[in-house]
Every structure is written in structure tokens, then in C-alpha cells.
Structure 1
Amino acid sequence: MNSGFRITFPLLSAMIITAGLYSCSSSGAKEGKDTSASVTVPPLDVFSLEKGSLSSSIQIPGELIAFQQVDLYAKVSSFIKKMNVDVGSEVTTGQILATMEAPEINSQLSGAESRLKSQEAIYLSSKATYDRLLETSKTPGTISQNDLDVAFARQKSDLAQLDAAKAAHREVGDNRNYLEIRAPFNGVITARNVSAGAYVGPSGKGSEMPIFTLQEQKKLRLVVSVPEAYTSYLSNQSDVNFTVRSLANKPFKGKVIRLAGALDRKLRSQHIEIDVANNDKTLLPGMVAEVAIPLNSSTSNFVVPSTAVLNSTKGVFVVKVQDKKTKWVPVTIGRSENGKTEVFGDLTAGDTLITVASEEVRDDAPATNVKVK
């Protein structure tokens, strides 16, 4: 009996263990089957691809300069007699800013007047002689044709001398007019470099610095250099906003009036000018401004939510749903603004794209559960 007990006990234990493992595996298989049946694939948010345009801007520094600026010099050698304006004076077109004196010009003018009067007398005499000879020649045989021709030639010569005397007199008179410095346009005197009694002239000491610097400040130019990448978005009459830091970032407006039409070789940028009204003279020439250049494209491109663009190690893609499968479409991106991005690639209007692209959505994977937004 003892030996039989030793033989049957191991067999019975093995049978019990085998039955337990079988029951556990059967139960686990059922539970696994139930679990897989309860898992559902979350829906994919998709949208229909459409063309659109982005309205954005870039911030570029610019400089305010006077709409017109001129340095006023003396035309003739002279001395300052009287200064009528000073720094900060507002002047109008034609206003006398300074008067100068040059005694030698007055002497030259007197001499020119004398020569002019003398030449007038000579011309009147030769003209009278010719007129008398002409009248007498109407009686046959009284005056030879040669004498008449000589008298006519003398009259023409004296007339030419009279014209030369008039020109010389006018030249000296114009030089005397240069003794008055007048404002060429309305503006403000921003610099004065001489005082009464100072020598000024077109050359030599006294001509290194201008007598005055005049600026027109009720209208300013805002000069900006726009990088090459953004030149295609610019056009004449575009409205531009800008701020000036020294004026607590107060907003100002202007309009693009002039485009250079060529790129600077060193900076690779285009020079543009914006006209700015400044009637109250709040802005000053020389101020630095932060200019918002609008980037409004004339053409429409495909615009998608920025989340729809997948940046992976393989490249940049959007995920398209086609024939109930996902497809990674390689694209290049353009501008981005306010959660929107321009994309360029093998796309067609009306394509269905996934709103939130990620690498978890595999290429060529089933896409049976989609949700159109």
C-alpha cells in the first residue's frame, strides 16, 4: 500500500495542476477577447482644404527726415549785414533771411549802367543815320547802295553791342540780388552758422559751413529699407502704421508714395519712402520709428491650421485622408500668422486633411472614423 500511495500522488498532483492551467488560460483568453472588443478608435478631426490669404506685417526700423532740406550758402563774396531769422524761426517762401553787403558790386553796377547808356546813345545815332540815308536813297542818284549797306551794318553792330551791354548790366544786377538770402520754401530754420559782420563767399574761408539750414517739417519722409524677401508685398498707396519710442509709442499713420524699384547691393533691400503729415510738428526729423509693413499678398494660397503641419525627421507633411486611408503629403510652408500657415505642395482645393497631424497617424493607415469640422 505504501508503494502504491507514492505512485498515485504525483500523478494526481500533475492532473490537478494541468487542469488549473487550462482553466486560467481559457479565462484569460475570454477576458482578452472581451477587452479588445471594447476598445474604440477615436475619431480624426478633418477639414476641407481651401485657398485664402494671410494678413500680417513685419516690424522694420525707419528714420524720419524732412520732406525738403537745403543748406543756404552765399553766392558772392560779401559780409553779413543783417540776420533777420534765427534757429527755430518759421519762414515762408521768398522771405528775406539775411542781407549782405559788397561795395564792389555797387561799383560794378554803376559802371554797367554807364556802359549801357553809352551804347544806347551810339545805337540810336547809327539807327538815325541809317534811317536818313534810307529815306534819301529813295531819290535816284543821291545815295550809293554801298553807303546804304555800310550804314545798315553799323546799325546792326551797334545793336549787338547794346544787347551785350544789357546782358552785362543784368548780370551785375543779378549778383547784387544774391546779396539777399531768401527762403526757397516754407519751413523752419534748424541751423545758423554765422553772425552779422562775418565774411561769406563761394570759396575760401567763410564758405565751409552754410549760412542757414532750412527744413520743411509740416510734411516728413519716413525712409525704410525693406528686405528682399518682403518686397513683393509692397505697392504704392499702401497704408503703414508706425510708432516712435521717444513719444511713448504713440501710433502714427503714413502712406507709401515712392519705391526705389531696385535693391541696394550691400543690404539687399529696397528703399521706400512714406509721406507723413506733421502739421502740429509733433514728429521731428531724425527720429527713429518702428514701422509695421503690411504683407498682403495679391494672390491666394492654401491656408491650413498650423496644427495640420507635421514636422518630422523625414520632412514637412500634411496628412490627407483619401479612400479611407491616410496619406502623408510633403509640403513647403510659407508665412504663419494667428495659428494659420501657408502650405505649397501636391494639393487640390477640397482635399480632406487632418486638423491635428502627428506621427502617431501613420502613412497609409486605415481612416474609417473621421469627424469633419
Structure 2
Amino acid sequence: MSSASNTEMNTATHNPSHTPPPSEKRGFSTGVWIALAVVAIVLVIVIVFGIASRSAAEHALEKHTQAAAILTVNVVHPSTAPLTPEISLPGNTQAYIDTPIYARTSGYLQHWYFDIGAHVRKGQLMATIETPELDQQLQVAEADLKSAQANLDLANTTAARYINLLKTNSVSRQETDQATGDAAAKKAAVDAAMANVRRLQQLQSFEKVYAPFDGIVTVRNTDVGALIDAGSGSTPRELFHVAAIGRIRVYVPVPEAYASDIKNGSTATLTLDQYPGQVFTGTIARNSNMIDSASRTLNVEVDVDNPKGLLLPGAYVFVHFKVPERIANLTVPSNTLLFRSEGLRVGVVRDGKVALVPITITHDGGQVVEVAASDLKPSDEVILDPSDSIIEGQQVHVSEHPQAGE
């Protein structure tokens, strides 16, 4: 019974009905490999696509970087329009007469009569100075003069007597000569004493400070009781500053290119920002007849009548000069100029690259300049507002909207 049971159990263990058939084993292995192959193929495709995308992105970035590195510029074509027959230049106004007033005698300020902004007339008393020491010196000098005059009178009388006595040989010629010589010495002493008195009287007259001309007090640098020292070894102290503004001088630096167009006696006009729409007329009075080597300008003075006092000294004005109308060779805006150590240049775009062309300015019109026709051509594309770092041969892009020349 037991043997039979063991036999049945062994037979059941090795029964073919419980072992998977070979076809099932082969199907399972093939499916796994197919799945792995598909996963591998997908992974390869993803990797290849990623590498290709990254390479394309890097290439696009490189192209974008290269494109961004090329400067884009606005250009303008030179114009043949004539320059305006008027130039406008900045100028500075000055009073026609402007002077400080000092004291010529030492003392203490006793009183002043005019403050800043006051109108004074020539000869009006502006201040008085108290000079007690000078007054005493004058009294001593006058006393010395009287003593010298008394000595002179006695000497003259003695000399006259000796001359009369000499006629009768009552005195010697030597005594007579001594008497006349003493009279001459006394005369010289009197002259010296009179000169000293006049000097002190003149100094005393400076106790009163008068206005030297009609004008306006622009500065008062003293007050009652202030010490006034007019000694030669000290710096003089300015008491007042007076300016005559009934007429104004305007100094204008005129560029060398227009120096020959400025004629004395011609008319010029002035405009100020503080008086919009108002024009002041002046006359070209004189010029320096010399070109300043530093600024290359001619200093021109324009005199303007100012009866109402609207123009103030020190104001910033614009002076307009009429000049002969010129048919320009070529004109370009002044913001195209490049100032280099080798000279004046403009940047011109030729075949997509920068060419730095040297130019010669024949006339300066302010916002535009006239250049020699041999330097540029009307078809040239001149760069507007060029960078200081721009160089010869640099590749640039021209803006799609070029601006017209002025």
C-alpha cells in the first residue's frame, strides 16, 4: 500500500501535463526580446533627436550671436542744399562800463548813501570817510607852511637891505650873497610846504566818494564803521561796484570759417530765452582782428542800446549774424562727425563695412556743416551718431529706414 502510494506520487511529480510546453517557453522569450528591442530603439531615437535638437539650437544661437554682434546703423545721404544765410552763436553780455570803486584815503566809513540796485548819477556822493589822523596832518602842514612863509618874508627883507647897503659899500658882497641865498632857500622851503599842504588837501578830498559815471550799484562791500585802509602795502578794499547798463556789450566767439563775413558796422540781432519772441538789435562795433589759436574763433563785440534795462550784464544770449548765402558743396549733419587724433572723419557704409573718410569743413552752419565736394558723394551712406569705438572695416547693418539729409 505504501509502495503503491510512493509510485503514484513519483508518477504525479513527473507527469508531463504539469510542465509548460516548449512553444510557450519560446513565445515568452521572443516577446521579452521584442519589447527590449523596441525600448532600445525608442531610446536611441530620443537620444539622436535630443542631440540633433541641441546641435540645431547651438547653431541657431551661434548665428543669432553673430548677427547680434554686427552693429546696426542709421545712415544719411549728403545734401546739396544751401546753408542758411544766418548763423546763431552764443554770447555773453557785459555792462558798457563796469568798474569797482575804492577809497584813496584811510579812515573809517562814516556813512554810505546807495545800496545795490540803486541808480546813481555822475558826481553824486556815495559815501563819506572819517579821517581824523589825516585832518591833524593837514593842520600840521598848514602850520609849517605859515612858519616857512614867515621865514621867507624875513629872508626877503634882509636880502633887500643887504642889496641896498652894497650900493654904498656898507656891507661886503659875500654877506649880500649869503642873504640872497638864504632868501632863495626859504622860498624853496615855502614851495615844499605848500606842496605838502596840497597833497594832504587832495587826500582829504577823498573822504567823499563820488559816482564816476551814470550807472547802477551792483555791489556794496562796506558798512558804517568799517576800517578803510588805502595804504600802498595793503590790498585795497572795494567799496562799491558800479555798472553802466544803458548800453550793453556782447562778446561773441565767431568760428574762423565766418570771420571774413563779420564786418564792423553791420547789424546783428539778439534773442534771449527769458524774452521769447522779442528781438534786440545791435551793431557790430569791433573785433579782435585775431583768431584765437585755442578755440579757432574771432572775438566780436556787438553793442546794443538798453534804455529800459531789460538786458542784464552776465546774461547768456544768442546773437544772429547775417552772412552771404552760400551754395554748399555738400552738407552733412554735425552729428555724423568723428573727431580722431588723425583728423576729422565721417563713417561711410560701403559694401556692408565701415570706411572712415577724412573730410574738410568749409563752413560750419551749426546743425549742419559744409564739406568739400571731393570728400563725399551724394550717394554715400554716412553713419548718423557713430560710436567712438567704430573702426575701419567694421561690418555693419544699415537700418531699413535711412534718414534724409538736412
TM-score by length of 2: 0.58
Tell me how far apart the structure 1 counterparts of residues 98 and 363 of structure 2 sit (CA, whole Å).
40
CA contact (8 A) 1:306 1:336 kept: no
Q: Pick one of 83, 102, 107 that aligns with 2:112.
A: 83
Deviations 1:128-178 (A, max 9, x none): 221222233333x23322222212211111111111101111111111112
User: Could you tell me which residue of structure 2 aligns to residue 258 of structure 1?
Assistant: 286
Tell me how far apart the structure 1 counterparts of residues 372 and 217 of structure 2 sit (CA, whole Å).
56
Quickly say closer, same or farther: Cα 1:203–1:150, change in 2 above 3 A: closer
- Output aligned runs, 1:114-133, within 5 Å: 114-133=143-162
The total of aligned residue pairs comes to 264
Tell me how far apart the structure 2 counterparts of residues 225 and 78 of structure 1 sit (CA, whole Å).
45
CA contact (8 A) 2:109 2:227 kept: yes
Q: Which amino acid aligns with 2:268?
A: V
Q: Which amino acid aligns with 2:145?
A: L
- Output aligned runs, 1:154-173, within 5 Å: 154-173=182-201
Deviations 1:15-59 (A, max 9, x none): xxxxxxxxxxxxxxxxxxxxxxxxxxxxxxxxxxxxxx9982211
The offset of 1:234, in angstroms, is 1.5
Deviations 1:188-221 (A, max 9, x none): 11111222112222369x9675211100011111
Task: Please state if 1:238 is matched with 2:266.
Answer: yes
User: Could you tell me which residue of structure 1 aligns to residue 129 of structure 2?
Assistant: 100
SS at match of 1:246: coil
The offset of 1:96, in angstroms, is 1.1
Task: Please state if 1:68 is matched with 2:97.
Answer: yes
Q: Which amino acid aligns with 1:113?
A: E
Task: Please state if 1:213 is matched with 2:241.
Answer: yes
- Output aligned runs, 1:123-162, within 5 Å: 123-139=152-168, 141-162=169-190
User: Could you tell me which residue of structure 1 aligns to residue 276 of structure 2?
Assistant: 248
Q: RMSD across aligned C-alpha pairs, in angstroms?
A: 3.2
CA contact (8 A) 1:200 1:207 kept: no
CA contact (8 A) 1:55 1:294 kept: no
Would you tell me which structure has more strand in proportion to its own residues?
1
Q: Which amino acid aligns with 1:290?
A: F
Quickly say closer, same or farther: Cα 1:54–1:145, change in 2 above 3 A: farther
Deviations 1:324-353 (A, max 9, x none): xxxxxxxx996699xxx99999xxxxxxxx
Tell me how far apart the structure 2 counterparts of residues 244 and 174 of structure 1 sit (CA, whole Å).
47
Tell me how far apart the structure 2 counterparts of residues 304 and 77 of structure 1 sit (CA, whole Å).
66
SS at match of 2:167: coil
- Unpaired stretches in structure 2, ≥5 consecutive residues: 1-81, 332-347, 349-359, 380-406
SS at match of 2:274: helix
Tell me how far apart the structure 1 counterparts of residues 161 and 235 of structure 2 sit (CA, whole Å).
57
TM-score by length of 1: 0.63
SS at match of 2:98: strand
Q: Between Structure 1 and Structure 2, whose CA radius of gyration is higher?
A: 2
Q: Which amino acid aligns with 1:163?
A: D
